[in-house]
Structure formats: C-alpha cells, structure tokens
Amino acid sequence: MRLPTALLMLFYLVSRVVASPLDVYQRNSISIPLSRISRGTTMEDVKAHLTTVSHKYHVTSRNYALNTGSPHSLSSRGPPYKLGERSTGSLTGDGNSVTLKNQGANLWYGSIAVGDPPESFTVQIDTGSADLFLCSVRCSLSCVGHQRYNARSSATSLDLCTPFVVEYGNRTEVSGDEYTDVVELAGYKAINQTLGAADTYYPDFAASNAPDGLAGLAFQEISSYGAAPFFQTLVDSHVLHKNVFGVSLSSQKDKGELRVGGSNPSMYEPDTLTIVPVTVKGYWQIQLDGISRNGEDMIVPTDKAQAIVDTGTAFIVTKPENAVKYYEDIKGARAVDEIWTVPCDTIGSHAPTLTFGGRLFPVSSSTFNLGPVHEGSIDCIAGLTGMPGIGGSIIEEEHWIIGDVFLQNVYTIFDVSNTEVGFAKLKL
C-alpha cells in the first residue's frame, strides 16, 4: 500500500523532532581539550599539597559542626596535621560542558563569568569544599598575575559586610569579604551567589599560572560562609535540565571537562555506570566496599568505611595504618613523612582497585605512579598515602579521600537532587 504524501511528510517531520534533542545536545556541548601545565612533582610539592588537604578537612569538618550542630565523624580534636612533623615507616547525558585544565598533579580548573558586565575568571573545581572565592582588587603581591574581582565595577554585586577567613596551611589563609553577585558557568547563571573577594591568597594559588580562585561543589553543610554553594544555587533557581554535573579528569586529549546540567555519555561506557548513595550530606561521601591489589582483598574497609570524592585532592588518602598494610609486603616500598615510594620498575604492578556499589574500578599504573622522587631516582612516588586524622577520631569510622589518582580513571557523576555519586569506566 502506498502511503499518502501528506502522511509521509508527517513521518519525516516526526523523525526530525525525535532526532532533534540529540542534535541540540551535540550543538550545545562545549568540549575543549584538557591542557596540562607542566610542574614537577617533588617530595616538597607533595608534602605541601597534603598539608593543604589536611587543613581543608580540618576547616570543612569544623564548618559541618557549626552549620549542623553535630560533629562530623571526620572531625579531629587536635590541630590539622603538617607533613614533616613526624615520620613513619539513573543518570542521563545532557547539559553544557566547560574546559577543565590540570595544573601539576592536583589543580583542575575551568572558567566562570562574574558580575555585570561579566568578567572571566579561572577557578579550581573542588568537590571537597563548598565555597567560591576569587582574587580581590585589594589583593596585592599574592594575587599578581591573576584576574581580580572588583565588586564596585559590577552592577549586580552586594557587599554583605561580612569578613571570611579560610585556613589552607601552616600560617597561610585566604581571607577577605563576602559579597553576592551573578555567577555564570557553561551558560547557566546563579543569581545572588555568595562569594568571597580575597585580600590575601594562599601560596598554591599565588603562582601566575594558577587559577584566579576556587569553586567548591560540595554541600552547604561544610560551607565557611554558611551559604548555598554555587551549584546548589543553580539547583534552587530551577534553571538546570537535571540537577547533575559530570566530571572527567582524564589526561587524554579532549577528555577533560565539567558537564553542567547532565552527564556526557560519549565519554563513558553506560553499562558500567554504578550509582552509590551519599551517606552523610556535606561532603560527597559514599560507602567504600573495599580495596584490592593484584586481585586480593586487603586493607579492607569494613561496613563503616566512608569515601569522600574530592577533585581537589591529588591522592588516595587514608589513615597511616592502612597505608602501612597496603605497602608492607611490597619489596622496596618505604615511607618518608607518610608519603610512600616504590621502585619505579615495579610500581605499576601495585596499583589498587577500588570497589563501589559492588563494581571494581582499577587505578591505572600511569596515574598511580606520580614520577621519580628526584631526577635519576630509581624510586617513584605512589598515589596512595597515609595522613593522621583521616580515620575519624570522634566515631570509630574509616575515612578515605578519593582524589585524582582514582578519578582520572573514571567518569564521575554528582547528582544533587538524589544525593548520589555515579562512577563509570571512561571510553578509550
């Protein structure tokens, strides 16, 4: 039977409408190759980074207690640890994406626009914290080489007349004043977003090739401002198609991005997507089933093991006792100020596999090996390290910080509405 021309035309139009969402999705994607700024990973660099991580968790766990009235199980009774003080032996894909760049081993950053008229700033993308801050025009030496936020030049800024101080290391801090302003990321605008204009900037960001600020993408419970983080403001504004963001920290060309309002299924294998619920809202904190090496269970986190998914931390971090167990039978492994090294010719065979939601996700040898201890060294820095205080000192609960050493091997989806994290294997 021959179909009427009008009916054929209707089928054609319907097929165009059905296909158009994918077309629009592809047209609206902004996928820019990840760029890596070369910077040596020396022992001193690693110590400084881990000291900063220790201070970050000291501050954010304290914020959790202040904001909720209850201590977080990660809270420490003592001051943050400084390395060197002692030694021991259903989610679907759509949305907009922005560039993510890698600085050295630990800073992944993208671009945002702030104010009216809008000005562009680069910010570290940090799922282990919850606040947004930028260099202020009042910042002098520590902000040289950076774009600086001038609230007076923005028609949409409001001075909250509230100072802020965030400690990031031994006698170092980011401090200044709080404002609200319009903040735009990947085409989405957060109106009246709380941000900090920093008059002093900590050394890791003071380098001219470092980002202009930091965007925390965790939950309000750990905010130093006690205000909604940037992504939560977008969620509350109902401007997103889905209250989800996807992150790829792959070092492969064209594979590093932050996708806002959805995930990017062209970057991962959908049948490997594993969803794990957030156990305590504040951090992106989920259940860790276990860690294995060479297919054998070890260090085994029990049913109390918690993992904090943190793009702002380079390593997989655990308490020192767990690190000792992990490396104790590896020939040539040794610790210097909690940082473990393994002979370069064997380190690749000792990379861990992490289990979430019953699925195994291996860490590649290339991301586990952070490079030689120094030029010409036969020992290389390993990507799993110990840190005092991470185990949780108030409640008997294991904590692991899951940083870039793991996250470079997976596509990660953060679902704010359902408070879930998804991991999937990256497409090669």
Q: For position 147, what pLDDT does the model report?
A: 92
277-332 residue pLDDT tens = 999 999 999 999 989 886 676 666 666 789 999 998 989 999 888 899 999 889 99
Is the peptide bond preceding residue 362 cis, with omega within 30 degrees of 0?
Answer: no
Percent of the chain with pLDDT over 90: 50
Rounded distance between C-alpha atoms, residue 371 and residue 379, angstroms: 8
Q: For position 99, what pLDDT does the model report?
A: 59
Q: Please determine, for residue 374, whether its predicted confidence score (pLDDT) is greater than 70.
A: yes
**Residue 74 or 224, more confident:** 224
**Residue 225 or 76, more confident:** 225
Q: For position 124, what pLDDT does the model report?
A: 86
- Do 301 and 290 contact (CB within 8 A), yes or no? yes
Active site residue 94: no
Per-residue pLDDT averaged across 193-199, rounded?
95
228-263 residue pLDDT tens = 999 999 999 998 888 999 999 877 766 788 999 888
Q: For position 428, what pLDDT does the model report?
A: 78
Q: For position 337, what pLDDT does the model report?
A: 83
Rounded distance between C-alpha atoms, residue 74 and residue 76, angstroms: 7
Q: For position 366, what pLDDT does the model report?
A: 92
Six token digits for residue 234: 């977008």
Contacts of 170 (CB under 8 A, 6+ apart): 51, 55, 82
Six token digits for residue 208: 């001219």
The closest alpha carbon to 200, from 154, 151, 133, belongs to 133
Active site residue 310: yes
3-class secondary structure, 42? coil
CATH 2.40.70.10 domain position(s) in the chain? 36-44+90-249, 266-425
Q: What share of the chain is helix, strand, coil (3-state, %, to 5)?
A: 20, 35, 40
Q: Please determine, for residue 89, whether its predicted confidence score (pLDDT) is greater than 70.
A: no
Amino acid at 225: Y
**Residue 297 or 359, more confident:** 359
Q: Please determine, for residue 392, whether its predicted confidence score (pLDDT) is greater than 80.
A: no
- Do 341 and 373 contact (CB within 8 A), yes or no? yes
Q: Binning pLDDT at 50, 70 and 90, where does residue 1 land? A: very low
Note every long-range contact of 155-161, with CB atoms under 8 Å and residues 24 or more positions apart, other chains counting.
Answer: 155/115, 155/116, 155/117, 156/115, 156/116, 156/181, 156/182, 156/191, 157/115, 157/181, 158/192, 160/194
66-75 residue pLDDT tens = 999 988 887 6
Rounded distance between C-alpha atoms, residue 382 and residue 15, angstroms: 53
In the set 212, 310, 337, 404, the catalytic residue is 310
The closest alpha carbon to 183, from 120, 225, 127, belongs to 120
Task: Give residue for tokens 């065979």.
Answer: 349
Q: Binning pLDDT at 50, 70 and 90, where does residue 92 land? A: very low
Q: For position 288, what pLDDT does the model report?
A: 93
Amino acid at 289: D
3-class secondary structure, 139? coil
3-class secondary structure, 394? coil
Q: For position 173, what pLDDT does the model report?
A: 74
Percent of the chain with pLDDT over 70: 75
Range with lowest mean pLDDT among 292-296, 394-398, 402-406: 394-398
Fold (topology level) of 266-425: Cathepsin D, subunit A; domain 1 (2.40.70)
Quote the mean pLDDT of the chain.
Answer: 81
In the set 45, 126, 289, 404, the catalytic residue is 126
Domain 36-44+90-249 has CATH 1.10.3860.10: no
160-180 residue pLDDT tens = 999 988 776 555 578 899 999
Contacts of 257 (CB under 8 A, 6+ apart): 30, 31, 32, 34, 97, 98, 99, 100, 246, 247, 248, 264, 267
Structure pTM?
A: 0.87
Six token digits for residue 319: 């308490």
122-155 residue pLDDT tens = 888 999 999 999 999 998 877 888 899 999 999 9
DSSP per-residue string spanning 216-263 = E-S-GGG-SSSS--HHHHHHHTT--SSSEEEEEE--STT-EEEEESB-
Six token digits for residue 257: 């991005």
Instruction: Answer left, alpha or beta for residue 311, where phi above 0 means left and psi between -120 and 50 means alpha.
Output: alpha
23-63 residue pLDDT tens = 322 333 333 223 344 445 788 888 888 888 888 888 899 89
Instruction: Answer left, alpha or beta for residue 301, where phi above 0 means left and psi between -120 and 50 means alpha.
Output: beta
* CA 156, 162, 166, 167 torsion-angle sign: positive
Q: Please determine, for residue 77, whether its predicted confidence score (pLDDT) is greater than 70.
A: no
Strand partners, 158: 180
Beta strand 369-372 with 359-362: parallel, antiparallel or unpaired?
unpaired
Per-residue pLDDT averaged across 173-197, rounded?
93
